[in-house]
Amino acid sequence: MEEKVRLQKHMAQCGVSSRRHAEELIRAGRVKVNGVVIREMGVLVSDKDMIEVDNKLIKKEERLVYIMLNKPSGYVTTVTDPQDRNTVMDLISEVKERVYPVGRLDYDTTGLLILTNDGDFAYFLTHPSQEIKKTYLAEVSGFPSKDSMNLLRKGVILDGRPTAKAEAYIVKSKAKSTLLKIIISEGRNRQVKRMCEKVGHPVISLERISIGTLTLGDLKKGQWRHLTTQEVKAFRGDKK
C-alpha cells in the first residue's frame, strides 16, 4: 500500500515551501488534488495523486539539498522581491534544485542562512517548540550597563509580551559602541534589534553566527556550501 501523508507535508517534501507556507497556499485555494481545489487541512495524499499549485503540477525532488550561506548585507531572504531588490537566490544560482530560504534575516543583517528543499528539515528548524538557539553578534551604540544586560537576559516586552530568557555577553567595547553576543531561542520579527532598542542601545550591525549546532566557521560573505550529512544528522539529533 502506498504511503499517505498530509497534503501540506507532501507539498513540503516536493520542495514547494515550508509546511506552514503550504498551509497558507491551501487556505488561499491555490492547491488542487486530482483537479479539485482543496481548502481544508488534513487531506491525505500519496505519490499517486496529482497535486497542482497555481495550476502547476508538483512532484518530489529526487535529491534533498541543504545549503549554508553567509548572507551579505543588501539581500532579502525571499525567493522573489516585489521591489526588485537582490535576493539570496541570486547568490546560489548554480544550485539546480528548487531550494528556498529557511526563516529570515533582515535586508541589512549578515551571516548564517540555511536554504533547503527539505520541508521537514525547514519545519524542524523554524518550529517554535524546538527552541533552537540562534547566536548573533550585535554591535550596539553606547555601553550597556549591567542592568541593561540583565534585562536582555530576563526578557523585554515586545508586542505586549515578554521575550523568552536569552543569553547576552559583552564581547568587547569600542570607542562609541559595544559588541554583544546574544543567543535567543525564539524567532520574532526583528527580535534582536528590537530587544537592544528597548534597552536603549540601538543595533549598528547584526550578524548571525550559528543556528543550533551549525556555525558559519570561515565561510566568507556571499559564499555558500553544502551541509555535510553529519551536520544534517547532528542538527536533528542535538538541536541545542
Q: Which residues are catalytic?
A: 106
- Please report how close the Cβ of residue 55 comes to ligand URA at its closest, in angstroms: 34
Query: Do the Cβ atoms of 14 and 8 come closer than 8 Å?
Result: no
| 70 or 191: CB nearest ligand URA | 191
Does the footprint of ligand URA cover residue 201 (CB under 6 A)?
no
Q: Dihedrals φ, ψ of 2, to 5°?
A: -75, 150
Q: Is 21 helix (H, G, I), strand (E, B) or coil?
A: helix
Does the footprint of ligand URA cover residue 221 (CB under 6 A)?
no
- Please report how close the Cβ of residue 29 comes to ligand URA at its closest, in angstroms: 32
Q: Is residue 26 exposed (0-12), middle (13-18) or buried (19+ Cβ within 10 Å)?
A: buried
Among 6, 133, 190, 221, binds ligand URA (CB under 6 A): 190
- Please report how close the Cβ of residue 73 comes to ligand URA at its closest, in angstroms: 10
Please report which helix (H) or strand (E) contains residue 32, including its range. strand 31-33
Work out the end-to-end distance of the chain between its first and last CA atoms, rounded to an integer number of angstroms.
Answer: 37
- Give the footprint of ligand URA on residues 96-135 (CB under 6 A): 105-106, 109
Instruction: Name the one range near ligand URA by CB under 6 A: 12-20, 173-181, 190-198, 211-219.
Output: 190-198
Query: Do the Cβ atoms of 91 and 222 come closer than 8 Å?
Result: yes
Does the footprint of ligand URA cover residue 191 (CB under 6 A)?
yes
Does the footprint of ligand URA cover residue 192 (CB under 6 A)?
yes
Query: How far is the C-alpha of 180 from the C-alpha of 148, rounded, in Å?
Result: 12
Contacting positions for ligand URA (CB under 6 A)? 105-106, 109, 190-193, 206
